[in-house]
Structure 1
């Protein structure tokens, strides 16, 4: 690689090799003059636009999942992952030390705002996230970006089905497997939120899905939340099934963020090669309650 790049740029291979070796470091730690620090966040919007450019032109819907993962007692990674073909690609992330105190709110707000201009006008974006991430401010930030929250909540709490109705337990809406319900509600007596609640309890599961969104009930389906587990593939690809990220010896979060950029691009290229070789990009989809089918 060093010889190839050196030949193209008319540089010595050793010079190129040193630059590649140091690229994830901050500028002052690199050898030579005019060495700069890569600002990873400047790559997030272009990375999402690159993913979008690879999709069939007929696709105008997308799922961006919010999730968090840990690397032992070293790091916590907050990431936004675009879900494609039953798997996912990280397209924006923030890495902090595992023992760092504080809220994730400013990090999520920044990540979402960095991406919102990258989505083409007129596209529908749903944003699934698991129960541990639900917060009223997160719901609002997603709506302000022009996207649609798809946030799962715990079944404890109260809900009001009409503005002047009585509060009732959330778990009363679907009390047994095989039941489903959707409608506009005021959710939670403390910090109430006017939204659409999608509830579904499928046979074989221990508890229901309760999902909050701003979409009209007839325009959304709780089944779409089934896209979110695809984000687990992201971490398997980055860790034990792929790039072995769990074995990193890095200790600096900013350097780790730069390394994630290399892994994200490699994951995208690897995934795209799979799609080109015959794996349908449409194998992950979310379906409207009436035709047509929209693919991710």
Structure 2
């Protein structure tokens, strides 16, 4: 506002004040959106009101022209609007459609927390999920069933999905698409690329932040663990990290999703052997009991879509 008044002051300096004032006034009054405003309020606006509010009309004209030319206004992302309050004309700024859409998109993105997930997964949508065989149809229907029935804060366990299949069939993509759909409904989801998460957990021992990271994974509203079985698993990360997360989510009945190249049966065999080669069948079975409680197994077959 100070900038507008300074501009007007500069325009009116010198001997030709009245001439400059009249020229500017006619320029403002000739501006089509100003004319529309005056016509809409012709019963309440007279010459005196126009003269005493000329700076506001000028502000509107210059800012509206910037908005029309897609230049930055006094308030970027907002468009000017004239209003009449008694004898005073005011300029208010309302959010543009572009800003509304951008704010909506940011709100959606804030509801999808991602750890180490690729950009294309974060942009996935259910509409773009390809259905060209029986297993993909079944996986899509299972995902749709959860999306249509899940209610935030509802009582009772609502199982997630354990999506398994060969490389590149779209397991991670389907998780990302579900997360986007949930975000549109105001539901927060955390997608975690499990191999990288486990590496970070090991590195976090040095700064004593392990407990904080595990607690975050435990408590998030909906958790999606991508590529379980691809991580380098130790007995500690299996039992004290993954086991603790799954135990908490099982007790609290929090929806949990998984993707893997392994079926549940093969994942159990994978988890059975620690990195030192020892066989720990009972501990692997304990982990898998939690996985089976939390998620329904769904196969996603087909060609490798990464190439």
Give the TM-score normalised by structure 2. 0.27
* Higher fraction of strand: 1
For the pair shown, the structure with the greater C-alpha radius of gyration is 2
* Higher fraction of helix: 2
Give the TM-score normalised by structure 1. 0.28
